[in-house]
Homo-oligomer: A and B are copies of this chain.
Amino acid sequence: MVKGRLEAFSDGVIAIIITLMALEMKVPHGADLVALRPLFPVFLSYVLSFIYLGIYWNNHHNLLQAVRQVSGRVLWANLHLLFWLSLIPFVTGWMGENQFAATPVALYGVVLLFAAIAYFILTQAFVADHGKDSPLASALGKDSKGKASMVFYTLAIPLAFINSWLACTFYALVAVMWMVPDRRIEGKLIR
């Protein structure tokens, strides 16, 4: 019951964030393809953020599968994650409208980094409730993907000021890393 409502609320927020991002693509005034051209970077940033939110929804979904109980601490850790995800439409729009300029690309990485930290805190809150020997804790394992992501974001943020497209490549690589299924390697992994 409690778990169901946590899932439903998180699903609702992620569904709304995903859909609101599409609104950043304002309908242009012209009626030809030329009118669409300035929207292309906005579209590109939308695709990247859509994939990221899809990854978070997928991972959240897999994580909750192994959850047996939900504490007050977990409710707040989950809201903390949703807070950082709710900032994604803003940084996506800022990055897209400025053709992937240095500062917006760096700030995009900052929000991704804080979302990753918030997700890590959420998993630790679950482990604290279920115990270090619980199936949930062992399924989470070393969480090498999560740690690698945070390293990549931390590298990409200063990199954005040297070459913002290289920083974006880092973000895209992290996304690809999460989309590739790896269950055979780490067993029944909770992503």
Which residues of A does B touch, CB under 8 Å? Answer: 1-2, 5, 7-9, 11-20, 22-25, 27-28, 31-33, 36, 47, 50, 54, 57-58, 61, 65, 72-73, 75-76, 79, 82-83, 86-87, 89-90, 93-94, 97-98, 101-104, 107, 179, 181, 183
Contacts and interface: CB of A to CB of B under 8 A. Distances in A.
Contacts of A75: 58, 61
Contact of A16 (B19, B94, B98, B104): B19
A15 B28 CA distance: 24
Contact of A14 (B7, B9, B36): B9
Given A19-B17, A75-B61, A25 B104 contact: no
Given A20-B19, A76-B179, A27 B94 contact: yes
A121 B32 CA distance: 30
Contact of A89 (B17, B23, B97): B23
Copies in the complex: 4
A139 to B, nearest CB: 15
Contacts of A22: 20, 86-87, 89-90
A79 B11 CA distance: 13
Contacts of A104: 31
Contacts of A86: 18-19, 22, 50
B19 A11 contact: no
Contact of A8 (B8, B87, B102): B8
A65 B2 contact: yes
